[in-house]
């Protein structure tokens, strides 16, 4: 009897793609390990950061940008719609939640879900006329929406005007705030992942790859796009609604272009087309931005250099590179 090296994933994929048909606990752990890292990060980090309120806020911002990044990744790399309207989703969700809580006295556990759904419907209705556009044209139009909403609120002096809406209810405790956002972030990540690998996900990808073939098969590509935009709006509006109650304030900064630009950078760095890559990019960029805060004006220059280096030398994205290496692990087997 001799031994030879064999890739771990090869034996698994030959037998089945289902985890229930694996032959050993080692192979199950091999498949679960990347997912366990995500769970451990989002559920374990709040326990580690209990002594630092500052880094607790940083963790919350990581979750917010993770949600915005997966929406951008989903629309851009699965639907084929490069959406720069992340700030639009955040602002609409934030203002809806602020209105429900401050003006109508809805409690926080009702204002956030209601603002999420109502905001998603509002964003979807406004984006429906733009769904015939593709590429840079769709991107430019979606970039105009947050700027338009910001100027309307400012010019008409509504919803608090430039001062914003105050008196919004906050969370009862830090751990309620941390774990509620962490858990919902995990739910949205894996729910969106489930959609992409389902039959609906195949149709959504087909709309991106060959829209004419989808139309020829009798499937309404417009409805598919509306569904995808609604799901993305839902996640983005939830992020905005949560952000409003986190700061107990809703103002024009909710429409800041950072909510549109940073998710793009996170997706590019982490690796597009996997959703988890967008999350990894957010986990890297948000703390990095905080560490560079002491550099003052040089912060943007250093930030740009790091982005350029990653894009030039690892254009596939960090997660795609790590995933490829992880799948190349080998073990010795008797022959």
Q: Tell me whether residue 18 is in a domain.
A: no
Q: Tell me whether residue 169 is in a domain.
A: yes
pLDDT score, position 234: 95
Q: Tell me whether residue 4 is in a domain.
A: no
pLDDT score, position 305: 81
Q: Tell me whether residue 230 is in a domain.
A: yes
Both tokens of 226, joined, read 């509306």
pLDDT score, position 226: 93
pLDDT score, position 18: 53
Collect all residues with Cβ–Cβ distance below 8 Å to 319 and sequence separation of at least 6.
270, 271, 274, 276, 277, 280
pLDDT score, position 15: 53
Q: Tell me whether residue 205 is in a domain.
A: yes
Q: In whole angstroms, how large is the CA radius of gyration of the chain?
A: 22
| Percent helix, strand and coil across the chain, each to the nearest 5 | 80, 5, 20
pLDDT score, position 2: 64
DSSP 8-state code for residue 165: B
pLDDT in tens, the chain (335 residues): 566 776 766 666 555 555 555 567 777 777 778 888 888 899 888 888 777 888 889 999 999 999 999 999 999 999 988 888 899 999 999 999 999 999 898 999 999 999 999 999 999 999 999 988 878 889 999 999 999 999 999 988 888 888 888 889 988 888 889 999 999 999 999 999 999 988 888 888 888 888 888 888 888 888 999 999 999 999 999 999 999 999 999 989 999 888 988 899 899 888 888 888 899 999 998 888 888 877 776 777 777 787 788 777 777 788 888 887 777 776 666 66
Nearest to 307 by CA among 263, 275, 268, 256: 268
Which secondary structure element, helix H or strand E, spans residue 332, and what is its range? strand 330-334
Number of domains in the chain: 1
Both tokens of 189, joined, read 């990540």
Q: What is the pTM of this model?
A: 0.90
Both tokens of 53, joined, read 């309120």
Q: Tell me whether residue 76 is in a domain.
A: yes
Both tokens of 34, joined, read 């990347």
- The whole domain housing 93 covers 38-255
pLDDT score, position 117: 96
Spatial separation of the C-alpha atoms in residues 273 and 255, rounded to whole Å: 26
């Amino acid at each position: 009897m001799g031994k030879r090296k064999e890739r771990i994933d090869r034996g698994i994929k030959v037998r089945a793609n289902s985890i229930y048909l694996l032959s050993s606990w080692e192979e199950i752990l091999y498949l679960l390990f990347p997912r366990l890292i995500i769970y451990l990060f989002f559920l374990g980090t709040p326990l580690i950061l209990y002594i630092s309120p500052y880094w607790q806020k940083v963790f919350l911002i990581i979750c917010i940008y993770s949600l915005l990044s997966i929406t951008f990744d989903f629309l851009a790399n699965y639907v084929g719609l490069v959406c720069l309207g992340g700030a639009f989703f955040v602002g609409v969700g934030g203002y809806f939640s602020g209105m429900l809580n401050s003006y109508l006295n809805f409690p926080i556990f009702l204002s956030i879900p209601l603002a999420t759904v109502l905001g998603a419907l509002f964003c979807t209705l406004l984006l429906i006329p733009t769904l015939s556009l593709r590429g840079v044209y769709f991107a430019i139009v979606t970039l105009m929406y947050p700027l338009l909403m910001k100027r309307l609120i400012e010019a008409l002096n509504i919803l608090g005007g430039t001062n914003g809406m105050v008196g919004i209810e906050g969370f009862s405790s830090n751990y309620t705030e941390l774990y509620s956002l962490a858990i919902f972030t995990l739910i949205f990540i894996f729910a969106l992942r489930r959609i992409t690998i389902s039959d609906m996900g195949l149709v959504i990808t087909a709309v991106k790859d060959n829209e004419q073939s989808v139309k020829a098969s009798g499937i309404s590509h417009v409805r598919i796009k509306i569904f995808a935009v609604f799901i993305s709006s839902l996640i983005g509006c939830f992020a905005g609604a949560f952000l409003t109650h986190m700061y107990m304030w809703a103002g024009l900064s909710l429409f800041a272009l950072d909510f549109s630009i940073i998710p793009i950078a996170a997706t590019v760095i982490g690796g597009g087309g996997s959703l988890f890559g967008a999350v990894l990019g957010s986990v890297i960029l948000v703390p990095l931005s905080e560490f560079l805060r002491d550099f003052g004006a040089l912060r943007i220059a250093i930030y740009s250099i790091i982005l350029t280096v990653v894009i030039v030398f690892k254009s596939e994205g960090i997660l795609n590179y790590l995933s490829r290496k992880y799948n190349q692990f080998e073990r010795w087997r008797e022959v």
